[in-house]
């Protein structure tokens, strides 16, 4: 296979053609793992150049080979990996170097920041020692000098009180703080290249914004080039200069950020961009997402065909018989691996028209004004406090975790309420309290106007038919040893359906969620993540519930798969007149699917209202910060936006600040005068309707709308 892009000049965001010697030059990189099923060709010909100070984004879904290719650059793949091709760092070949020689490069010239900060630090050494180790491996520093430099590094990456934190162990740090430590170690020796493998995927969005900022600072400080591996097209849009899209172990499109986002020339890229819900779409522009059907191919024994062919709506005969090379569609165009690139570039096939927009029927209930619809779920002043215990021998109560601290909302028929907030804000506890259908510690939960507290055991059992749940991880929530048909039939059998009737219903349900009746005999492991989530949805719908509680139903899925599940949920709501309580941390998804949204912070709802009002005119500083932290998959908009960065981490719900619980992270609080600040300190703000707004309320003494998206 020849690689003609070797000679290509790729223009960066500013339109400059690159000149000079690349810092890191990867050519025709192949990685093959031996397995019992045969050779797994995880990476099949990756080439790119990285120049000093440049940021290259590598985008792809799980299994696309993006992480493996970066590990190959560092020489950190397991022994059963065969790596061929060439990796040159400033002209020096790295492939084939011994571990001893490679160790001198790792952490010195090429540093790395990994995905999961919770497991990336050794649990038994202090954070300070681990940074010192990164320094002393490559530099001949005295004990005191190393310590001083490590403290400096902690300070640079924004860890408050480094003197004290230096002696802490990793488990005493939050996820965001640990990622900062990782960045500190990465920049310890002024590397030339920093490889970032999904550095913010495991983090909450406000923390993600902080970490991206820390990375930018680190880059400014060291002048390093960054290779940013991610599945999030939003992160790359604002951060990278160039983008390479990977699919099935190969780059399928690469070019300057703007080229890729505004002039994609490969159906996979087009599909990816169309399948992400947009935070910046208005309710009028809202249209169904365009999912990419099917799943990526197995990497064992790939035929000579376009690997995307089975999922591509514009595939022609040649796509089945030869794999397209990465070539530009014409002069001045960026390279893409698609036989139909010329048609896409020439406009014969309109880019918007590649993927058919699915038709989602309108819900009959949507025509009815909200006030005229029946309330299906009403939560009033709900509290859930947990005692905080210490001691292994003599347990004693040392405090209270105020997980849910007085929240109220209602859901009307046929409506979707999005409940959003960062981890630890009490979303899941709220769900569990509702699902339990018993009297809460304080406040009330009512389904169809009936208080859960007053139900008898039999009535409660009956009521469970009406309120069902879908969980986040579709693999963990299906019994791996139970055929999916049985799993779906389980709620039916529990509620006394006969085996025969259940079987007929299971078939009906499988069809309803877009699967085939014969799938009932199969086991969960035979399905992809998206299909598994469809099975979970089918199980939730078995008893014809009125309310479905969705706990992060798409956050464990790849973007292209996610879109299909979101569309399915949307369609089912319209068809069956369902009401959803949709819990998510991803505000773009909520913006897309919800009618109303409630924003939670530390056990309270700080802002609630219809989606258009809350997203267009967020009035609580936390909502504003949250929305502004979300990167948009739109390079122009991203470059023009200014982020509101919140300081610090989410405080512990065991230690809630007095007055307004958001005040110690609030940017607005800082701008207030002393008397106003006192009000925030002393008075717990109540949630009140915004003046002149029908359905928009916020819990801030100084609420003021601000457009941030």
Partner 1 sequence: MGAFIVRRLLNYVVLVFIATSLAYLGAATAFHPKDQYLAKNPPTPAAVMYQELNERNGNPEKPVFERYAKWVDGVAHGDFGKTWQLDSVKKHFSISVWVTVRLVTVAAVLSAILGVLIGSFQAVRQYKFSDHSITFASYLIFAMPVFVLAPFLKLIAVQVNKAVGGDKPLLQYQGEIDPNATGFFGQLFSRADHLLLPTISLSLGLIAFYSRYQRGTMLDVMGSDFLRTARAKGLRKGRAILKHGVRTAVIPVMTLVTYSTITTFAGAIITERVFGWNGLGSWFTDSTRHADVNSVAMITLFSAVLVLIAGMLSDVITAVLDPRVRL
Residues at the site binding partner 1, with contacts judged by CB under 8 A: 74, 76, 99-100, 103-108, 111-112, 114, 116, 119-126, 133-134, 137-138, 169, 171, 182, 185, 189, 392-394
Instruction: Name 598's bridge partners.
Output: 419, 608
| Smallest separation (angstroms) from partner 1 to the CB of 171 | 5
Cα separation, 240 vs 103, in Å, equals 28
Looking at residue 277, the DSSP 8-state letter turns out to be -
Q: Which of these, 220, 211, 142, lies nearest to 182 by C-alpha position?
A: 211
User: Closest distance between partner 1 and the C-beta of residue 80, in Å?
Assistant: 10
Closer CB to partner 1, 374 or 389, in the complex: 389
Q: Closest approach of Cβ 368 to partner 1, in Å?
A: 52
* Shortest CB 75 distance to partner 1, Å: 9
Q: Which CB atom, from 73 or from 602, has the smaller least distance to partner 1?
A: 73
- Burial 441-452, CB ≥16 within 10 A → b, else e: eebbbbbeeeeb
Q: Which is nearer to partner 1, 66 or 546 (CB)?
A: 66
Compute CA distances 10 → 1, 307, 308, 344, whole Å.
21, 25, 24, 19
Q: Is the CB of 132 or the CB of 583 nearer to partner 1? A: 132
- The tokens describing 24, both together, are 């890191």
Instruction: Decide if 36 contacts 285 (C-beta within 8 A).
Output: no
Collapsing DSSP to helix, strand or coil, 387 comes out as strand
Alpha helix stretches (DSSP H) within 160-251: 162-165, 175-186, 205-222, 233-239
Strands 696-698 and 688-689: antiparallel
Tell which residue, 401, 419, 421, has the closest CA to residue 650. Answer: 421
Locate 272 and state its tokens.
């990816």
- 310 vs 388 by CB, closer to partner 1: 388
Nearer to partner 1, 114 or 669 (CB): 114
Least distance from partner 1 to the Cβ atom of residue 409, Å: 38
- Beta strands (DSSP E) in 526-634 are 547-551, 579-584, 596-601, 604-610
Nearer to partner 1, 150 or 549 (CB): 150
Q: How far is the CB of 429 from partner 1 (least distance, A)?
A: 25
How far apart CA 408 and CA 374 sit, in angstroms, is 17
State in angstroms the smallest separation of the CB of 134 from partner 1.
Answer: 4
Nearer to partner 1, 74 or 548 (CB): 74
Least distance between partner 1 and beta carbon 218 (Å): 15
Would you say 17 or 124 has its CB closer to partner 1? Answer: 124
**Judged by CB, which is closer to partner 1: 116, or 466?**
116
35 vs 321, which CB is nearer to partner 1?
Answer: 35
Token pair 């290779």 in the structure block, residue: 227
Q: Where are the alpha helices (DSSP H) in 521-582?
A: 529-541, 559-576
What is the nearest approach in angstroms of partner 1 to the Cβ of residue 124?
A: 5
Nearer to partner 1, 74 or 605 (CB): 74
What's the token pair of residue 172? 């005493």
- Per the rule left: phi > 0, alpha: psi between -120 and 50, beta: everything else, 365 is alpha
Write down the least CB distance from residue 30 to partner 1, Å.
Answer: 21
Closest to 583 (Cα-Cα) out of 550, 547, 540: 550
Q: Least distance (Å) from partner 1 to the CB of residue 435?
A: 32
For the CB of residue 182, give the shortest distance to partner 1 in the complex, in Å: 7
Is-contact 598 379, C-beta < 8 A?
no
DSSP letter at 525 equals G
In the complex, least distance from residue 214 CB atom to partner 1, rounded to whole angstroms: 17
Judged by CB, which is closer to partner 1: 121, or 225? 121
What 3-state DSSP class applies to 636? helix
3-class SS of residue 346: helix
Q: Do the bridges between strand 81-89 and strand 55-59 make them parallel or antiparallel, or are there none, so unpaired?
A: unpaired
Answer yes or no: are the C-beta atoms of 656 and 603 closer than 8 Å: yes
Shortest Cβ distance from residue 114 to partner 1 (Å)?
A: 6
Q: Which is nearer to partner 1, 106 or 534 (CB)?
A: 106
E strand intervals along 585-693: 596-601, 604-610, 688-689
User: Which token pair is 212?
Assistant: 């991206």
Residues 6 or more apart whose CB falls under 8 angstroms from that of 355 comprise 267, 270, 271, 274, 290, 291, 292, 313
């Amino acid at each position: 296979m020849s690689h003609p892009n070797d000679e290509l000049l790729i223009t960066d965001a500013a339109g400059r053609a690159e000149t000079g010697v690349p810092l890191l030059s990867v050519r025709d990189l192949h990685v093959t793992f031996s397995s019992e099923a045969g050779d797994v060709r995880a990476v099949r010909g990756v080439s790119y150049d990285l120049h000093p100070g440049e940021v290259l984004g590598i985008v792809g879904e799980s299994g696309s080979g993006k992480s493996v290719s970066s590990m190959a650059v560092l020489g950190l793949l397991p022994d059963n990996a065969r790596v061929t091709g060439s990796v040159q760092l400033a002209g020096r070949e790295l492939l084939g170097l011994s571990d001893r020689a490679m160790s001198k490069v790792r952490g010195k010239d090429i540093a790395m920041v990994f995905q999961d900060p919770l497991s990336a630090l050794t649990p038994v050494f202090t954070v300070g020692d681990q940074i010192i180790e990164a320094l002393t491996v490559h530099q001949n520093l005295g004990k005191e000098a190393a310590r001083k430099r490590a403290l400096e590094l902690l300070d640079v990456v924004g860890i408050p009180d480094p003197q004290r934190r230096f002696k802490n162990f990793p488990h005493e740090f939050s996820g965001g703080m640990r990622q900062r430590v990782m960045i500190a170690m990465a920049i310890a020796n002024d590397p030339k290249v920093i490889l970032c493998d999904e550095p913010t995927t495991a983090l909450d969005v406000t923390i993600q914004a902080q970490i991206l900022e820390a990375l930018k600072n680190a880059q400014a400080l060291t002048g390093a080039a960054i290779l940013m591996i991610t599945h999030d097209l939003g992160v790359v849009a604002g951060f990278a200069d160039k983008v390479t899209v990977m699919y099935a172990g190969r780059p399928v499109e690469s070019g300057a950020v703007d080229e890729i986002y505004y002039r994609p020339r490969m159906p996979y890229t087009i599909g990816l961009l169309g399948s992400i819900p947009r935070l910046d779409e208005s309710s009028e522009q809202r249209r169904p997402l365009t999912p990419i059907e099917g799943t990526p191919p197995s990497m064992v024994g790939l035929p000579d065909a376009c690997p995307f062919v089975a999922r591509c709506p514009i595939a022609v005969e040649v796509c089945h018989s030869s794999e397209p090379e990465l070539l530009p569609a014409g002069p001045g165009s960026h390279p893409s691996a698609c036989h139909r690139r010329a048609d896409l570039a020439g406009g014969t096939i309109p880019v918007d028209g590649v993927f058919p927009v699915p038709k989602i029927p309108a819900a009959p209930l949507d025509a009815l004004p909200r006030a005229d619809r029946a309330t299906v779920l009403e939560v009033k002043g709900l509290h859930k406090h947990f005692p905080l215990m210490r001691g292994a021998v003599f347990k004693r109560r040392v405090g209270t975790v105020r997980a849910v601290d007085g929240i109220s909302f209602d859901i009307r028929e046929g409506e979707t309420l999005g409940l959003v907030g960062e981890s630890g804000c009490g979303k899941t506890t709220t769900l569990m309290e509702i699902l339990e259908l018993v009297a809460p510690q304080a406040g009330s939960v009512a389904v169809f106007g009936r208080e859960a507290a007053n139900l008898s055991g039999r009535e409660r059992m009956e009521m469970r038919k009406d309120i069902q749940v879908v969980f986040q991880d579709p693999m963990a929530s299906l019994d791996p040893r139970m055929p999916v048909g049985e799993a779906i039939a389980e709620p039916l059998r529990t509620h006394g359906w006969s085996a025969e009737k259940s079987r007929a219903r299971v078939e009906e349900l499988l069809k309803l969620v877009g699967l085939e009746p014969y799938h009932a005999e199969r086991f969960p492991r035979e399905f992809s993540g998206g299909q598994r989530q469809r099975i979970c949805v089918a199980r939730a719908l078995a008893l014809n519930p009125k309310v479905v509680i969705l706990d992060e139903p798409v956050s464990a899925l790849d973007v292209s798969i996610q879109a299909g599940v979101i569309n399915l949920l949307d369609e089912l709501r319209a068809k069956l007149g369902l009401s959803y309580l949709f819990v998510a941390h991803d505000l773009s998804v909520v913006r897309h699917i919800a009618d109303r949204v409630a924003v939670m912070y530390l056990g309270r709802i700080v802002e609630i209202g219809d989606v258009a009002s809350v997203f267009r005119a967020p009035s609580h500083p936390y909502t504003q910060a949250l929305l502004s932290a979300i990167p948009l998959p739109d390079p122009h908009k991203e470059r023009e936006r200014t982020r509101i960065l919140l300081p610090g981490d989410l405080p512990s719900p065991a230690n809630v600040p007095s007055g307004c619980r958001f005040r110690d992270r609030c940017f607005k609080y800082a701008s207030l005068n002393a008397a106003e600040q006192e009000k925030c300190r002393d008075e717990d703000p109540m949630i009140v309707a915004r003046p002149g707004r029908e359905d928009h309320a916020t819990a801030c003494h100084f609420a003021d709308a601000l457009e941030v998206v």
